[in-house]
Structure 1
Amino acid sequence: MSYEPGASHEVATGDALEARLKAYEGEPAAVARAGKDAVNAPMIRHWCEAMGDTNPAYSGPDAMAPPTMLQAWTMGGLSGHSGRTHAYDELLGLLDEAGCTSVVATDCEQEYLRPLRPGDEITFDSVIESVSERKTTKLGTGYFVTTRTDIHVGTDLAGTHRFRILKYTPGRRAEQQQPDRRQRPPRPRPVVNRDNAGFWEGVRRRSLLIQRCTDCGTLRHPWLPGCNACGGLEWDTVEASGEGTVYSYVVMHHPPFPAFDPPYAVVLVELAEGVRMISNVVGVPYDKVRIGMPVRLEFQVYDDESVLPVFRAREEAA
């Protein structure tokens, strides 16, 4: 018997549940919705200021919106969008009933087909593109749900945005038990992808590499596929000297995580080369970290597998 989205059914598990979930593939999640605001210069300016993106293409009379703003023009804000379609809510509800009550965003993919410029009015349609088979992850067991949103200006397809979440049943967490500090969980591993793999390969060799645009010479960090100053796609690397200063910092008190000992300082270090990166300061108490503190790079090995760049206060290093 086939399952129809929108019908009332008892909670199922295993193959029966997966059949019900798969029935939602191709169902609309949004139909002919309009962006709440036209593409506009103030939002572009705020975005560029937040990202530190000084590309001249995003300002002036012939400005275009940064392509990575694609999703921003579809967002409904606190009040949301009118004309909801219920298939997506029903799908998430079915997963909730099956015990997959937790959710985490995992990744997104975007395709850019037409520049968006101030004054453009966008419309968009979303579809539930896929629901995975049951997967077991470090977080727990559940299902990856992917939606695809097509953004239009008039009849032109401007871009496509795919967004993927994991709806899962939380696994048994170590913090639910009395922690044994002699058996501390391993430190979380960095996410390595095709854009930053070269950076982490350098770290493995105890070298901190900074991307450099070969068109305009601009240095950038974190690593990106293109230059945020001129848009160039070609790049090489320079090795950081390792000298820097604490540009800003926060002290983490919560949430607790077994691999860490809060409170601890998370710092934004400005390297001598001018780029900034997030890391930790070691060798000094969290309450002794200060803005402007000189630091020097070192590499710290965790549980014989993970190597991370950290910074030591220069006075401590001396």
Structure 2
Amino acid sequence: METGEAYEARLKVYEGQRAAVARPGKDPVNTPMIRHWCEAMGDTNPAYSGPDAIAPPTMLQAWTMSGLSGQTRGTHAYDELLGLLDEAGYTSVVATDCEQEYLRPLRPGDEIIYDSVIESVSEKKTTKLGTGYFVTTRMDIRVGPDLAGTHRFRILKYAPLRPTDRPGGSPTRRDRAQKPSRPRPVVNRDNAGFWEGVQRRRLLIQRCTTCGTLRHPWLPGCHACGGLDWDTVEASGEGTVYSYVVMHHPPFPAFDPPYAVGLVELAEGVRMIGNVLGVPYDKVRIGLPVRLEFREYDEELVLPVWCAQEVPEMQETREVGT
């Protein structure tokens, strides 16, 4: 890996350079995407429907995304920066966090244009994933001359830890055969309480103390009344599959496709995404009853997953097959 003050000075040259210039959104702001978003998030705010509807502010980035079939490259400067990191051995990438600021509501029919700038490249950092650099871009989203919002997106370009870098010395046969560790969840000030609960094997749901509305994912304010005060309730662990996808592609080293990822509706009414286990991926169905379990994936990572409960059709199939 290339390091040192001279190398970091080369990276710093890219700060302030453009990552995208006057790029149009692939689609205008539109009602179907707003409806799909609200259904997936369980958001029933009346402001997002009807003749005077606005788009949920948190959809800001959605209007800038080009989709799997139409990925657009960055500017020469942005591609050059990532190439410089790749050549130096920082070949892996993980998104770490984002920040958004909302300045103008987006409404169906609005056509957005966005610019993006490389805002900062950090000094070299050592993380649990490996050593690398945090690259932050700021996107300015406009409708005509009006600035609608800003979106800061931060990635870590890093060189993964090798077995010899870990405590214990040289790699063993088990180290060589071991699959890469699962990606870590991004923990921030808004969701830290949720992940602290997971570490204690408790699934905590935020509850607005003003109107009593439960919400997930964790947010700083209530989407029903706007209240900022909240406490938590512990989920019972019972739920049903509200929707699901089976992941075949793209492959990720830490996962074994195909596998099912479900949007689970908890008994308390909120919805949560997680792996659906305990049943073949092609047997997952909408309405399948599931129960919460906590799985340890390594010494530091505990995640909530959803295990299918016994259903008569599956039991009968197994008996016939036997």
Q: What TM-score results when the alignment is normalised by the length of structure 2?
A: 0.73
Q: Partner residue of 2:217?
A: 222
Q: Quick one: which amino acid aligns to residue 173 of structure 2?
A: Q
Q: What CA distance in whole angstroms lies between the structure 1 residues aligned with 2:215 and 2:295?
A: 23
Aligned pair partner of 1:194 in 170, 173, 189: 189
Query: Secondary structure in 1 aligned to 2:28?
Result: coil
| Counterpart check, 1:57 vs 2:52 | no
**Contact preservation (8 Å) 1:265, 1:289:** no
Displacement, 1:67? Answer: 0.9
Q: Quick one: which amino acid aligns to residue 274 of structure 1?
A: G
**Contact preservation (8 Å) 1:243, 1:272:** yes
Q: What CA distance in whole angstroms lies between the structure 2 residues aligned with 1:164 and 1:223?
A: 20
| Counterpart check, 1:99 vs 2:89 | yes
Query: Secondary structure in 2 aligned to 1:179?
Result: helix
1:170-249 aligned within 5 A:
170-172=160-162, 178-179=173-174, 190-203=185-198, 207-245=202-240
Deviations 1:262-315 (A, max 9, x none): 998766554322233355788x67689865665655667787866655667778
Q: What CA distance in whole angstroms lies between the structure 1 residues aligned with 2:305 and 2:93?
A: 31
Q: What CA distance in whole angstroms lies between the structure 2 residues aligned with 1:279 and 1:263?
A: 15
Displacement, 1:122? Answer: 2.4
Q: Partner residue of 2:269?
A: 274
Task: Identify if the C-alpha distance between structure 1 residues 218 and 99 changes in structure 2 by more than 3 Å, giving closer, same or farther.
Answer: same
Q: Which moved more, 1:268-277 or 1:110-119?
A: 268-277
Q: Partner residue of 2:104?
A: 114
Query: Secondary structure in 1 aligned to 2:218?
Result: coil
Computing the radius of gyration from Cα coordinates, the structure with the larger value is 1
Q: Quick one: which amino acid aligns to residue 190 of structure 2?
A: D
Q: Partner residue of 1:148?
A: 138
Deviations 1:223-264 (A, max 9, x none): 22333445544433223334445666788897564xx99998
**Contact preservation (8 Å) 2:240, 2:290:** yes
Q: Quick one: which amino acid aligns to residue 35 of structure 2?
A: R
**Number of residue pairs the alignment of both structures matches:** 301
Task: Identify if the C-alpha distance between structure 1 residues 56 and 234 changes in structure 2 by more than 3 Å, giving closer, same or farther.
Answer: farther
Q: What CA distance in whole angstroms lies between the structure 2 residues aligned with 1:233 and 1:100?
A: 41
Task: Identify if the C-alpha distance between structure 1 residues 125 and 45 changes in structure 2 by more than 3 Å, giving closer, same or farther.
Answer: same
**Contact preservation (8 Å) 1:55, 1:231:** no
Q: Quick one: which amino acid aligns to residue 122 of structure 1?
A: I
Task: Identify if the C-alpha distance between structure 1 residues 262 and 179 changes in structure 2 by more than 3 Å, giving closer, same or farther.
Answer: farther
Identity fraction in percent: 79
| Counterpart check, 1:20 vs 2:15 | no
Aligned pair partner of 1:163 in 143, 153, 160: 153
Displacement, 1:190? Answer: 4.7
**Contact preservation (8 Å) 2:179, 2:253:** no
Q: What CA distance in whole angstroms lies between the structure 2 residues aligned with 1:76 and 1:290?
A: 30
1:28-47 aligned within 5 A:
28-47=18-37
Q: Partner residue of 2:315?
A: none
In structure 1, runs of 5+ residues without a counterpart are 1-10
Q: What TM-score results when the alignment is normalised by the length of structure 1?
A: 0.73
Query: Secondary structure in 1 aligned to 2:155?
Result: strand
Task: Identify if the C-alpha distance between structure 1 residues 249 and 134 changes in structure 2 by more than 3 Å, giving closer, same or farther.
Answer: same
Q: What CA distance in whole angstroms lies between the structure 2 residues aligned with 1:199 and 1:103?
A: 25
**Contact preservation (8 Å) 1:295, 1:312:** yes
The root-mean-square deviation of aligned C-alpha atoms, in Å, is 4.1
Q: Quick one: which amino acid aligns to residue 37 of structure 1?
A: D
Q: What CA distance in whole angstroms lies between the structure 2 residues aligned with 1:204 and 1:12?
A: 37
Q: Quick one: which amino acid aligns to residue 104 of structure 1?
A: V
